[in-house]
Each structure stands twice: as structure tokens, then as C-alpha cells.
Amino acid sequence: MARFLLTGGAGHIGSQVACQAACAGHTVLVYDNLSTGTRLVERWAELVVGDVRDRARVEDTVRRFAPDLTMHFAAKIVVPESVREPLLYYDNNVGGTISLLQALASCGTDRFIFSSTAAVYGIPQAIPVAEEAPLAPINPYGRSKMAVEHLLADLAASGQLRPASL
């Protein structure tokens, strides 16, 4: 069985993934600042309370846990708030992802799944939205997630990371 690190794993989606992974026999460590998550995830996983922007703490956690795969769910997600406070969203969603990726790289961990959002497509031309649809986000939340998708594509092209986006 595999060792899964789930950032933002105490939130709604992350905790569901943590439960399913643990029930399938995998070892799960959740790294979450608990700003919107809950400690209930401790039923299925070890919980480390921390912010993904704290690279030293993330790196220490990655070194200690040695994950086979990292799933990144940690993000600010409230669209109206992103419009009012775009720096908060870029700092958390882009800066936090960069911090996490740097920590993973320093530990030699390259298997990474990113939880993106349909907000990267903006107002879609067709529904259902095809994954190949043009990216055209209309708010800072969607643009911050799109920036991470571009970063992941660049890292994959360089051979430094094996990412996938959900």
C-alpha cells in the first residue's frame, strides 16, 4: 500500500479522499492549517497542523513521512473574497503551492496530484466542459488556480515533477 500526503486534507474534498484512501489500506498523513477543515480527519489519518506556505515545516513533514504521492487540496476557494483580496489568493494558492513543490523537490518526491477547479474555464462555451476547453478564468480565484496549472506544466516539461490535475 502507498503513503499519501494530503495538503488541505481536513477540508471537505480532502477529508473524503483521506477516508477513501485509508479505507483502501493506504497510510494517510493530512497537512492542514484547519482554517476551514476539521480534526475529524484524525479518524482516518495522522494530522499535522500547519500552513503550506511554511516551507520548513512542510519539508520536515515530507522528510519524516516520505510520501509516495502528494495530493494538494490546500487552497482559498471563495470567489467573492478573491475579488476583494486577490493578494491573499495568490499568496495562498500560488505561493503555498510553490512552497510545497520546493519542499517536495528537496526531498526527491515527484508524484503530485493538484486539485484544480472548473473556475479556470471561466464562462464555458459548452457544458459539460471538456478538459481541453480554453482556460479563461474571470476572477482571482480561477486565475490563481490557472497559474498553478501553468507552473505544473512547466515542471512536468522540465522533468522535475510528474503532476496530474483534478
Q: What is the pLDDT of residues 131-164, one digit of tens each?
A: 889 999 999 999 999 999 999 999 999 988 888 7
Q: Provide the pLDDT for residue 86.
A: 98
d(CA 86, CA 139): 9
User: Which pLDDT band, with edges at 50, 70 and 90, does 48 fall under?
Assistant: very high
Contacts of 122 (CB under 8 A, 6+ apart): 135, 136, 137, 138, 142
Task: Say whether pLDDT at 41 is over 90.
Answer: yes
Spatial distance between the Cα atoms of 118 and 144, rounded to a whole number of angstroms:
12
Confidence at residue 131, expressed as pLDDT on a 0 to 100 scale: 84
Longest C-alpha distance within the chain, in Å? 46
Please confirm, yes or no, whether 141 is among the known catalytic residues.
yes
pLDDT digits over 87-107, tens only?
999 999 999 999 999 999 999
Distance CA 152, CA 131 (A): 16
Q: Could you say which of 89, 90, 121, 141 is catalytic?
A: 141
CA atoms within 13 A on the CB side of 120: 19
